[in-house]
Chains A and B, each alone.
Chain A
Amino acid sequence: DTAVSQTPKYLVTQMGNDKSIKCEQNLGHDTMYWYKQDSKKFLKIMFSYNNKELIINETVPNRFSPKSPDKAHLNLHINSLELGDSAVYFCASSHKRAENTGELFFGEGSRLTVL
Protein backbone atom coordinates (compact mmCIF):
# COMPACT_ATOMS: atom_id res chain seq x y z
CA ASP A 1 0.00 0.00 0.00
CA THR A 2 1.49 3.29 -1.10
CA ALA A 3 1.66 5.79 1.76
CA VAL A 4 1.92 9.02 -0.27
CA SER A 5 0.80 8.70 -3.87
CA GLN A 6 0.92 11.31 -6.59
CA THR A 7 -0.57 11.35 -10.06
CA PRO A 8 0.45 11.65 -12.74
CA LYS A 9 4.03 10.45 -12.47
CA TYR A 10 4.95 12.09 -15.77
CA LEU A 11 3.37 15.09 -17.44
CA VAL A 12 4.45 16.63 -20.74
CA THR A 13 2.59 19.72 -21.89
CA GLN A 14 2.85 22.88 -23.94
CA MET A 15 3.60 26.35 -22.61
CA GLY A 16 0.48 28.25 -21.68
CA ASN A 17 -1.54 25.18 -20.70
CA ASP A 18 -3.10 24.56 -17.29
CA LYS A 19 -2.40 21.31 -15.47
CA SER A 20 -3.01 19.66 -12.11
CA ILE A 21 -1.08 17.18 -9.98
CA LYS A 22 -2.91 15.20 -7.32
CA CYS A 23 -1.62 13.85 -4.04
CA GLU A 24 -3.15 11.53 -1.49
CA GLN A 25 -1.77 10.12 1.75
CA ASN A 26 -3.18 7.21 3.73
CA LEU A 27 -0.98 7.69 6.80
CA GLY A 28 -3.52 9.70 8.80
CA HIS A 29 -1.16 12.70 8.81
CA ASP A 30 -2.49 16.20 9.38
CA THR A 31 0.06 18.17 7.36
CA MET A 32 0.86 18.00 3.67
CA TYR A 33 3.42 19.78 1.51
CA TRP A 34 4.47 20.50 -2.03
CA TYR A 35 8.17 20.71 -2.84
CA LYS A 36 9.76 21.54 -6.18
CA GLN A 37 13.00 19.83 -7.25
CA ASP A 38 14.80 21.44 -10.18
CA SER A 39 17.17 19.89 -12.69
CA LYS A 40 20.11 20.35 -10.29
CA LYS A 41 18.17 18.38 -7.65
CA PHE A 42 17.70 21.44 -5.42
CA LEU A 43 14.56 21.00 -3.32
CA LYS A 44 12.44 24.03 -2.37
CA ILE A 45 9.30 24.12 -0.27
CA MET A 46 6.30 25.66 -2.00
CA PHE A 47 3.25 25.15 0.21
CA SER A 48 2.11 23.44 3.36
CA TYR A 49 -1.39 22.68 4.61
CA ASN A 50 -2.33 21.64 8.11
CA ASN A 51 -5.84 20.25 8.55
CA LYS A 52 -6.87 21.79 5.22
CA GLU A 53 -5.53 25.23 6.17
CA LEU A 54 -2.69 26.89 4.30
CA ILE A 55 0.17 27.46 6.73
CA ILE A 56 3.19 27.91 4.48
CA ASN A 57 3.11 29.80 1.23
CA GLU A 58 6.57 30.51 -0.09
CA THR A 59 7.32 33.04 -2.79
CA VAL A 60 5.63 31.10 -5.53
CA PRO A 61 3.94 32.71 -8.56
CA ASN A 62 0.18 32.92 -8.09
CA ARG A 63 -0.17 30.73 -11.18
CA PHE A 64 0.34 27.93 -8.66
CA SER A 65 -2.73 27.21 -6.56
CA PRO A 66 -2.85 24.41 -4.01
CA LYS A 67 -6.16 22.96 -2.91
CA SER A 68 -6.82 20.67 0.02
CA PRO A 69 -10.33 19.19 -0.06
CA ASP A 70 -9.60 17.15 3.07
CA LYS A 71 -6.68 16.19 5.31
CA ALA A 72 -5.69 13.29 3.10
CA HIS A 73 -5.47 15.20 -0.17
CA LEU A 74 -3.45 18.12 -1.46
CA ASN A 75 -3.63 18.98 -5.12
CA LEU A 76 -1.53 21.45 -7.08
CA HIS A 77 -2.98 23.36 -10.00
CA ILE A 78 -0.71 25.34 -12.30
CA ASN A 79 -2.05 27.92 -14.74
CA SER A 80 -0.33 29.28 -17.86
CA LEU A 81 2.61 26.92 -17.66
CA GLU A 82 6.06 28.31 -18.42
CA LEU A 83 9.31 26.61 -19.42
CA GLY A 84 10.77 27.32 -15.97
CA ASP A 85 8.03 25.28 -14.35
CA SER A 86 9.68 22.11 -15.65
CA ALA A 87 10.76 20.18 -12.56
CA VAL A 88 9.87 17.24 -10.38
CA TYR A 89 7.15 18.12 -7.89
CA PHE A 90 7.10 16.16 -4.67
CA CYS A 91 4.20 15.82 -2.32
CA ALA A 92 4.97 14.98 1.31
CA SER A 93 3.11 14.53 4.56
CA SER A 94 3.89 14.59 8.26
CA HIS A 95 2.20 14.53 11.64
CA LYS A 96 2.65 17.67 13.70
CA ARG A 97 2.75 16.70 17.34
CA ALA A 98 5.23 17.62 20.01
CA GLU A 99 6.36 14.03 20.44
CA ASN A 100 6.82 13.46 16.71
CA THR A 101 10.09 13.93 14.89
CA GLY A 102 8.38 15.80 12.08
CA GLU A 103 9.62 13.24 9.57
CA LEU A 104 8.39 13.90 6.06
CA PHE A 105 7.03 11.03 4.00
CA PHE A 106 7.49 11.73 0.32
CA GLY A 107 5.64 10.60 -2.75
CA GLU A 108 7.59 9.36 -5.75
CA GLY A 109 7.37 12.69 -7.53
CA SER A 110 5.62 14.03 -10.61
CA ARG A 111 7.96 15.01 -13.42
CA LEU A 112 6.54 17.97 -15.31
CA THR A 113 8.06 18.89 -18.68
CA VAL A 114 6.89 22.08 -20.34
CA LEU A 115 7.68 22.37 -24.06
Chain B
Amino acid sequence: GEDVEQSLFLSVREGDSSVINCTYTDSSSTYLYWYKQEPGAGLQLLTYIFSNMDMKQDQRLTVLLNKKDKHLSLRIADTQTGDSAIYFCAESRRDDKIIFGKGTRLHILP
Protein backbone atom coordinates (compact mmCIF):
# COMPACT_ATOMS: atom_id res chain seq x y z
CA GLY B 1 0.00 0.00 0.00
CA GLU B 2 0.87 3.67 -0.14
CA ASP B 3 0.55 4.42 3.56
CA VAL B 4 2.86 4.05 6.52
CA GLU B 5 0.83 1.91 8.91
CA GLN B 6 0.86 1.81 12.68
CA SER B 7 -1.71 0.95 15.31
CA LEU B 8 -3.53 3.95 16.74
CA PHE B 9 -3.53 3.17 20.45
CA LEU B 10 -1.33 1.43 23.01
CA SER B 11 -1.83 1.19 26.77
CA VAL B 12 1.06 0.14 28.98
CA ARG B 13 1.58 -0.03 32.73
CA GLU B 14 4.16 2.29 34.22
CA GLY B 15 7.49 0.47 34.47
CA ASP B 16 6.68 -2.00 31.69
CA SER B 17 8.13 -1.89 28.18
CA SER B 18 6.18 -0.31 25.35
CA VAL B 19 6.54 -1.64 21.83
CA ILE B 20 5.17 0.39 18.94
CA ASN B 21 5.16 -1.21 15.51
CA CYS B 22 5.13 0.28 12.04
CA THR B 23 5.18 -0.92 8.45
CA TYR B 24 6.50 1.38 5.79
CA THR B 25 6.25 1.34 2.03
CA ASP B 26 9.42 2.36 0.21
CA SER B 27 12.13 -0.30 0.29
CA SER B 28 14.66 2.32 -0.82
CA SER B 29 13.95 4.66 2.11
CA THR B 30 17.30 5.84 3.44
CA TYR B 31 16.23 6.80 6.93
CA LEU B 32 13.38 5.74 9.14
CA TYR B 33 12.33 7.87 12.05
CA TRP B 34 10.35 7.95 15.23
CA TYR B 35 8.90 11.30 16.20
CA LYS B 36 7.16 12.16 19.46
CA GLN B 37 4.31 14.67 19.79
CA GLU B 38 3.23 15.90 23.19
CA PRO B 39 -0.14 17.66 23.62
CA GLY B 40 -0.26 21.11 22.04
CA ALA B 41 3.25 20.84 20.61
CA GLY B 42 4.96 20.10 17.35
CA LEU B 43 6.68 16.83 16.54
CA GLN B 44 10.20 16.22 17.80
CA LEU B 45 12.60 13.63 16.53
CA LEU B 46 13.02 10.89 19.10
CA THR B 47 15.38 8.63 17.20
CA TYR B 48 16.16 7.43 13.69
CA ILE B 49 17.79 4.46 12.03
CA PHE B 50 19.77 4.28 8.82
CA SER B 51 18.50 1.69 6.39
CA ASN B 52 21.68 -0.40 6.47
CA MET B 53 21.27 -1.04 10.21
CA ASP B 54 18.93 -3.52 11.83
CA MET B 55 19.08 -2.24 15.39
CA LYS B 56 19.83 0.96 17.22
CA GLN B 57 19.86 1.48 20.97
CA ASP B 58 19.75 4.83 22.68
CA GLN B 59 19.27 4.69 26.47
CA ARG B 60 15.71 3.44 27.05
CA LEU B 61 14.93 3.34 23.34
CA THR B 62 15.56 0.41 21.01
CA VAL B 63 14.73 0.58 17.32
CA LEU B 64 14.51 -2.60 15.27
CA LEU B 65 14.40 -2.58 11.48
CA ASN B 66 13.41 -5.53 9.30
CA LYS B 67 14.02 -4.37 5.75
CA LYS B 68 12.72 -7.54 4.17
CA ASP B 69 9.30 -7.08 5.77
CA LYS B 70 9.53 -3.25 5.80
CA HIS B 71 8.82 -3.35 9.50
CA LEU B 72 10.07 -0.88 12.09
CA SER B 73 9.54 -1.01 15.83
CA LEU B 74 10.25 1.22 18.78
CA ARG B 75 10.70 -0.25 22.24
CA ILE B 76 10.64 2.04 25.26
CA ALA B 77 12.01 0.32 28.36
CA ASP B 78 10.72 1.19 31.84
CA THR B 79 7.89 3.33 30.50
CA GLN B 80 7.26 6.49 32.51
CA THR B 81 4.28 8.85 32.71
CA GLY B 82 6.33 11.40 30.77
CA ASP B 83 6.38 9.00 27.82
CA SER B 84 2.66 9.55 27.32
CA ALA B 85 2.42 11.09 23.82
CA ILE B 86 1.69 10.28 20.21
CA TYR B 87 4.51 8.46 18.44
CA PHE B 88 4.84 8.80 14.68
CA CYS B 89 6.77 6.47 12.46
CA ALA B 90 8.14 8.15 9.29
CA GLU B 91 10.11 7.20 6.20
CA SER B 92 12.20 9.31 3.85
CA ARG B 93 11.17 8.22 0.38
CA ARG B 94 13.23 8.34 -2.79
CA ASP B 95 11.14 11.32 -3.99
CA ASP B 96 12.44 13.33 -1.00
CA LYS B 97 9.14 13.20 0.84
CA ILE B 98 9.07 12.33 4.49
CA ILE B 99 5.83 10.45 5.01
CA PHE B 100 4.33 9.89 8.42
CA GLY B 101 2.17 7.13 9.81
CA LYS B 102 -1.09 7.99 11.55
CA GLY B 103 0.57 8.01 14.96
CA THR B 104 0.25 5.69 17.97
CA ARG B 105 -1.21 7.25 21.08
CA LEU B 106 0.65 5.80 24.08
CA HIS B 107 -1.33 5.79 27.29
CA ILE B 108 0.41 4.96 30.57
CA LEU B 109 -1.56 3.11 33.23
CA PRO B 110 -0.59 3.65 36.90
Contacts and interface: CB of A to CB of B under 8 A. Distances in A.
Contacts of A96: 96
Interface residues of B, number: 25
By secondary structure, the A interface counts as strand
A107 B44 CA distance: 9
A104 interface: yes
A43 B97 CA distance: 13
Contact of B96 (A35, A44, A55, A106): A55
Interface string B57-97: 00000000000000000000000000000101000100111
A101 B102 contact: no
B30 A43 contact: no
Interface of A: 4, 33, 35, 40-45, 48, 55-56, 90, 92, 94, 96, 101-104, 106-109
